[in-house]
Structure 1
Amino acid sequence: MVKHAFSRELRLLTPNNFAFVFQQPQLVGTSQITILGRLNSLGYPRIGLTISKKNIKLAHERNRIKRLMRESFRLHQHTLPIMDFVVIAKKGLADLDNYSLRETLEKLWRRHYRQY
């Protein structure tokens, strides 16, 4: 049975982890979200989120977006390539409802899978 946990080891935690992805990323995105990815040697994918106050003003909106991004990653982690991902939120993302945000993320995960 496949486990859909989101443990600490599935997160990018240190600035070095983020810098690793920013050095040579594979890029997919829309006008509201960009997902950078880079192959890792760990055997499982990891995710890091960057959501600035400049782009999304209200804290409850940033929290909602982070929650939906983590949930999307958690559900797709077994179909994703073995990569470190950094999800970057842009202006206008807060205007999307939950369904649209989930659909956008799903489309971007599929594009990363096809690129891999």
Structure 2
Amino acid sequence: MVKFTLPRNSRLLTPNHFTFVFQKPQWARTPHMTILGRLNTLGYPRVGLAVAKKYVKYAHERNRIKRLTRESFRLHQHILPNMDFVVIAKKGVDGLNNHLLIEALGKLWRRHCR
């Protein structure tokens, strides 16, 4: 049975984890966000988030974007390759409503599956 949970070990937590992804990433992007990915040897995908205050001014908007990104990853983690992903928000992402944001994330996850 497939579990749709997001345990602590499914997240990138330390600067070393993020640096690993930034060294030789495969990327997929839209005008509002970029997802960098790099194959790992753990046997499961992990996700890290980078939502800069420079591009998303209000904390409640940054939290909404992070919450929806984690939810999208949680639902797609079983079809994703064993990669470490870093989701980077760009300018204008706070203007997307929840439906458009989830749709854009789904499109980016599918690109990484190819």
Report the TM range for the smaller structure's normalisation.
over 0.9
| 2:39 matches 1:42 | no
Percent of aligned positions that are identical: 68
> After TM superposition, which residue ranges in structure 1, 4 or more long, deviate above 2 angstroms?
none
* Aligned-CA RMSD value: 0.3
Match of 2:12 in 1: 12
In structure 1, C-alpha distance between the alignment counterparts of 2:53 and 2:24, rounded to whole Å: 26
In structure 2, C-alpha distance between the alignment counterparts of 1:101 and 1:75, rounded to whole Å: 14
Aligned to 1:31, what secondary structure does the other structure show? coil
Match of 2:59 in 1: 59
1:49-103 deviations in whole A, cap 9, x for unaligned? 0001001000000000000000000000000000000000001000000000000
Aligned to 1:87, what secondary structure does the other structure show? strand
Q: TM-score, normalised by structure 1?
A: 0.98
In structure 1, C-alpha distance between the alignment counterparts of 2:59 and 2:32, rounded to whole Å: 17
Match of 1:103 in 2: 103
Match of 1:92 in 2: 92
CA positional deviation for 1:4: 0.5
Match of 2:113 in 1: 113
CA positional deviation for 1:105: 0.2
CA positional deviation for 1:44: 0.2
Gaps of 5+ in 2: none
Q: TM-score, normalised by structure 2?
A: 0.99
Aligned residues, how many?
A: 114
In structure 2, C-alpha distance between the alignment counterparts of 1:44 and 1:99, rounded to whole Å: 27
Aligned to 2:35, what secondary structure does the other structure show? strand
CA positional deviation for 1:11: 0.3
